[in-house]
Amino acid sequence: MINKIVPSKSKSNQTTGNLLSQDGEAFYFSEFFTEAESQRYFLALENEVPWKQEPIKMFGKEVMQPRLTAWYGDSGKGYSYSGITMQPTPWNSTLIQIKEKIEKSSGVKFNSALLNFYRDENDSMGWHRDNEKELGENPSIGSVSFGATRTINFRHYFDKRLKNSIDLTDGSFLLMKGETQHYWQHSISKKSYPIGPRINLTFRTILSLETRSRSLN
């Protein structure tokens, strides 16, 4: 099943319905933030976040991630990353405003966020599931996008013929929930034409911040 759902532009906060044909739920809301809010948030985050390019281990070799990242969360407990324990950066006011808006709409309380900065069309994120045990059995993940439009691809982990993809536009919100992280992988592919930067925030609820490890390409 290959079907591309084009988001409707007719109403603000329009949802497309469940993007996944089975085994999980992913709901997309375009224009969740206004153009003015999106512009303001993009600039604030671009300038205020301590963006870093971090190394990861891939097939036993250390390589740099093809994007910049940052980690924010409730203060107190750290998480482990490549053998070292890191403390999340405490929330700034921009992130709190965004977090409160998506919490109100989704009914989910988030306590951490991974921030991704895609500098241009060459930055990307490989196929993965957000299924770390610290996120619990069926994690809800709230994903907010500002800046250039990028495509998120979904493929069923056990039946790779099942696919979908959707363009994540400036000011959009994608909520993944239910069994999604068991059954579906997602990725952000490179683009073959020049595009500007994009900021993505994935809000999560970590049940225990103590023993977290992450290795995404």
Q: Which residues bind ligand AKG (CB under 6 A)?
A: 114, 116, 125, 130, 143, 152, 168, 186, 188, 200, 202
Q: Which does 152 bind (CB under 5 to 8 A by kind): ligand AKG, Mn ion, none?
A: ligand AKG
91 vs 154, beta carbon nearer ligand AKG: 154
Structure tokens at 143: 């994903």
CB of 40 to ligand AKG, least distance (A): 20
Among the listed residues 29, 49, 69, 130, the single contact to Mn ion using CB under 5 A: 130
CB within 8 Å of 121: residues ≥ 6 apart: 190, 191, 192, 193, 194, 195
CB of 177 to ligand AKG, least distance (A): 14
156 vs 186, beta carbon nearer ligand AKG: 186
* Residue with the shortest CB distance to Mn ion: 130
10 vs 171, beta carbon nearer ligand AKG: 171
Per-residue buried b or exposed e for 48-75, using 16+ beta carbons within 10 Å of the residue's own CB: ebebeeeebeeeeeeeebbbbbbbbbee
CA distance 2 to 194: 26
CB of 151 to ligand AKG, least distance (A): 9
CA distance 52 to 177: 28
123 touching Mn ion, by CB under 5 A? no
CB of 114 to ligand AKG, least distance (A): 5
Q: Which does 188 bind (CB under 5 to 8 A by kind): Mn ion, ligand AKG, none?
A: ligand AKG
10 vs 148, beta carbon nearer ligand AKG: 148
**Part in contact with Mn ion (CB under 5 A); list of ranges 13-21, 57-65, 79-87, 126-134:** 126-134
